[in-house]
Amino acid sequence: MGDRRSQPTTEWLENEKVKRILTEYLDETDYRIYKELNRDGRISDTELGERVGLSRTAARRRREKLQSEGLVDVLGVLVLQEAELAYADAFVTLNSDISQDDFDDFLSKIEGEELIYEIDEYMGKYDLLLRVWHASLSDIKSYLRAQLQTHDAVERYETVPVTKTHKAWHKILSNSD
């Protein structure tokens, strides 16, 4: 295998849409660092540097800067379908007369919930998307009922079970059924 430093990826240069979106935040090297960390967050700084054409020290400095700025976060993710766990999206509509304090209280409550792994605020038909997992769909239904029906902030919610994830975190997930 040749020296990867002399052959940097051209993905950044070829994808004008990605380049246009990210140039305000990342340069080509930062983007390549992000892509390598996305492939393997446990990669050493030495290997990272080799893959993106930098010294170990320069790669570490760049990675640390991206992390300190909050642009890159290296974390472990439980791949729910591989663990054969149930997961669903809950679309939440908040009461129209909810105060900011009540919204903040509700958000604080659900942010602390381990079984809710993502919370997104929306504009439009729904106000929030909660991504939730549990041992079974029946458990998800009971869990969401306990979390959402008992809070005055929630007008209604709709739960949509996820049957399969094909791509997440820029990774193609296995096709096992």
State the residue range of the domain holding 19: 4-68
Name the 3-class secondary structure at 172. strand
In a domain, 74, yes or no: no
Are 136 and 86 a contacting pair, CB within 8 Å?
yes
Contacts of 164 (CB under 8 A, 6+ apart): 81
For the beta carbon of residue 79, count every other beta carbon within 10 angstroms. 13
Q: Are residues 10 and 61 in the same domain?
A: yes
Q: Are residues 37 and 93 in the same domain?
A: no
What's the domain count of the chain? 2
CATH code where residue 47 lies = 1.10.10
What does the alpha-carbon distance between residue 34 and residue 170 come to, in Å, rounded to a whole number? 11
Q: Is the pLDDT of residue 153 over 90?
A: yes
End of a domain among 23, 41, 68? Answer: 68
pLDDT for position 2 = 41
Task: Check: pTM over 0.75? Answer yes or no.
Answer: no
In a domain, 80, yes or no: no
Q: Is the pLDDT of residue 8 over 80?
A: no
Higher-scoring residue by pLDDT: 71, 128:
128
Are 11 and 17 a contacting pair, CB within 8 Å?
no
In a domain, 78, yes or no: no
Are 92 and 128 a contacting pair, CB within 8 Å?
yes
In a domain, 175, yes or no: no
Asked which of 84-88, 98-102, 136-140, 159-163 is least confident by mean pLDDT, the reply is: 84-88
Query: How confident is the prediction for the chain on average, in pLDDT?
Result: 84
Stretch 77-90: mean pLDDT: 79
What does the alpha-carbon distance between residue 156 and residue 176 come to, in Å, rounded to a whole number? 35
What does the alpha-carbon distance between residue 98 and residue 154 come to, in Å, rounded to a whole number? 9
Would you call 146 exposed, middle or buried from its count of C-beta atoms within 10 A (0-12, 13-18, 19+)? Answer: exposed
Q: Are residues 96 and 51 in the same domain?
A: no
Considering only CA atoms, which of 34, 12, 64 is closest in space to residue 56?
64
Q: Are residues 62 and 96 in the same domain?
A: no
Q: Are residues 100 and 146 in the same domain?
A: yes
Q: How far apart are the first and last CA of the chain?
A: 35
Q: Are residues 45 and 102 in the same domain?
A: no
Q: Are residues 133 and 92 in the same domain?
A: yes
Over residues 32-68, the pLDDT tens digits come to 888 888 788 888 999 999 999 999 999 999 999 988 9
In a domain, 173, yes or no: no
Q: Are residues 62 and 119 in the same domain?
A: no
pLDDT for position 171 = 67
